[in-house]
Structure 1
């Protein structure tokens, strides 16, 4: 299991990116919301969408869930 966060600041396309805790592109502490431990990025993105409907996996650490 990995620990995931969602970026509270939206990207230029409106997405809120979901990151693993080990990601090189993890947002600064003031710009991330803890999601918790999940078996996959799919579950983490699903959790993020409860807060930010337009959530997407990070291209670098959650590529399987990166759709835009």
Structure 2
């Protein structure tokens, strides 16, 4: 299980990135929302969609969920 977060600030393409808690690209505490502890990025992406419509996985820590 890993902790997952979504960036409150959208990327240039409009998507909000989902990150694992140990990611080097994890946003600052004030710019992220804790999503929960999950066994993979897929349920974290679903949880992030409760906050934002346009979400994507981080290419570095969630490559299985990175689509853009």
Q: Judge same fold: TM > 0.5, yes or no.
A: yes
Whether 1:32 aligns to 2:32 is yes
* Residues 1-68 of structure 1: pairs in structure 2 closer than 5 A: 1-68=1-68
- How far apart, CA to CA, are the structure 2 residues paired with 1:51 and 1:29? 16
Superposed structure 1 runs of 4+ greater than 3 Å apart: none
Superposed CA offset, 1:3-59 (max 9, x none):
000000000000000000000000011100000101110000010011111011000
Q: Which runs of 5+ in 2 are unaligned?
A: none
Structure 2: distance between partners of 1:49 and 1:58? 15
CA RMSD of aligned residues (A): 0.4
- The number of equivalent residue pairs is 68
TM-score, normalization by structure 2: 0.98
| TM norm structure 1 | 0.98
Unaligned runs of 5+ in 1: none
